[in-house]
């Protein structure tokens, strides 16, 4: 009788192992949280968890991955440590991705954030062609780096912006010159623009740890906030 529980445990473990093997073989990589991130893959159920694993890996893993991406104009940043709290040791200077340039034209980003931006900008081009039959040529933004604490406080927890680990986006410029503004179009009269912005947020929620929009609070009435910090929010 004492052997039965052991046998049951062995059978259960074997079944779990077989299920894992089957999942690895038949379920697309982007849906499996334990698989390595493949930036080229479509968004999936496991993408965000894969980014978490990447963030916990040695910096060289992400930097090598970024160096191998097409349609990403970026380069390693010079270390920037203005004090013991702010800045970065390893990051990337991003200027464009998928033929979308940034305005202002360069943003330092922690490496996982830069990969997330690359994937999200790929998704944006698909959405823009679907909704407007136009390419996005420029993203307007407030920047990524600011040595400050959360909510502009003089004390308390540091903002992810203090480490170039957050990105604030204000709008999108199309190839025909149209400017889609988060401030004006989130609740504006143009239904296509409203839906485009909400779908762009939905895509971001599958990538970034934190995605905030005008629905979050009044402080975000004019921009999206994305970051790869320890919190997890999609609003």
Question: What pLDDT was estimated at residue 4?
Answer: 54
59: its two tokens: 């910096």
Question: What pLDDT was estimated at residue 83?
Answer: 81
Q: What is the pLDDT of residues 169-180, one digit of tens each?
A: 999 999 999 999
Q: What is the mean pLDDT of residues 53-81?
A: 96
* % of the chain with per-residue pLDDT over 70: 88
Q: What is the mean pLDDT of residues 133-153?
A: 92
For the ranges 112-121, 134-143, 145-154, 219-228, the lowest mean pLDDT is seen at: 145-154
SS3 call for 102: strand
User: Dmax over Cα atoms in the chain, in whole Å?
Assistant: 77
CB distance 92 to 131 below 8 Å: no
Question: What pLDDT was estimated at residue 56?
Answer: 94
Give dist(CA 103, CA 115) in Å, integer: 18
Kindly write down the DSSP assignment for every residue of 173-230, as one continuous string. EETTS-EEEHHHHTTSS-HHHHHHHHHHHHHHHTT-SEEE-TTT-GGGTT-EEEE-SS
CB distance 199 to 213 below 8 Å: no
Does the pLDDT at position 62 exceed 70?
Answer: yes
Q: What is the mean pLDDT of residues 223-233?
A: 96
Give dist(CA 64, CA 44) in Å, integer: 22
Is the preceding omega at residue 194 within 30 degrees of 0, hence cis?
Answer: no
Q: What is the mean pLDDT of residues 204-228?
A: 97
Give dist(CA 226, CA 210) in Å, integer: 5
Q: What is the mean pLDDT of residues 182-209?
A: 98
Query: Quick one: which of 125, 5, 112 has its CA closest to 59?
Result: 112
Q: What is the mean pLDDT of residues 20-42?
A: 83
CA 83 to chain centre: 27
Question: What pLDDT was estimated at residue 24?
Answer: 61
Give dist(CA 176, CA 191) in Å, integer: 19
Say what the pTM is. Answer: 0.88
Length of the chain: 235
R_g of the chain, CA atoms, integer Å: 20
CB-CB neighbours of 200 under 10 Å = 24
* Partner residues linked to 84 by β-bridges: none
49: left (phi over 0), alpha (psi -120 to 50) or beta: alpha
CB distance 29 to 35 below 8 Å: yes
φ, ψ at 33 (rounded to 5°): -60, -30
Question: What pLDDT was estimated at residue 13?
Answer: 44
| Mean of pLDDT over the chain | 91
């Amino acid at each position: 009788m004492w052997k039965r529980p052991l046998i049951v445990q062995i059978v259960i473990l074997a079944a779990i192992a077989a299920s894992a093997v089957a999942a690895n073989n038949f379920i697309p990589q982007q849906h499996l949280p334990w698989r390595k991130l493949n930036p080229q893959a479509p968004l999936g159920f496991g993408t965000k968890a894969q980014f978490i694993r990447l963030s916990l890996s040695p910096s060289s893993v992400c930097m090598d991955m970024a160096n191998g991406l097409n349609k990403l104009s970026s380069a390693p940043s010079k270390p920037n440590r203005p004090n013991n709290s702010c800045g970065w040791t390893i990051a990337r200077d991003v200027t464009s991705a998928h033929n979308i340039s940034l305005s202002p034209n360069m943003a330092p980003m922690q490496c996982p954030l830069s990969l997330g931006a690359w994937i999200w900008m790929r998704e944006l081009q698909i959405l823009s062609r679907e909704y407007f039959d136009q390419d996005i040529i420029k993203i307007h933004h407030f920047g990524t780096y600011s040595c400050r604490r959360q909510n502009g406080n003089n004390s308390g927890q540091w903002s992810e912006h203090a480490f170039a680990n957050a990105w604030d986006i204000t709008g999108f410029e199309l190839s025909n010159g149209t400017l889609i503004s988060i401030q004006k179009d989130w609740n504006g009269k143009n239904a296509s623009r409203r839906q485009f912005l909400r779908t762009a947020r939905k895509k971001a929620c599958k990538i970034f740890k934190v995605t905030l929009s005008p629905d979050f609070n009044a402080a975000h009435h004019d921009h999206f906030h994305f970051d790869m910090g320890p919190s997890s929010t999609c609003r």
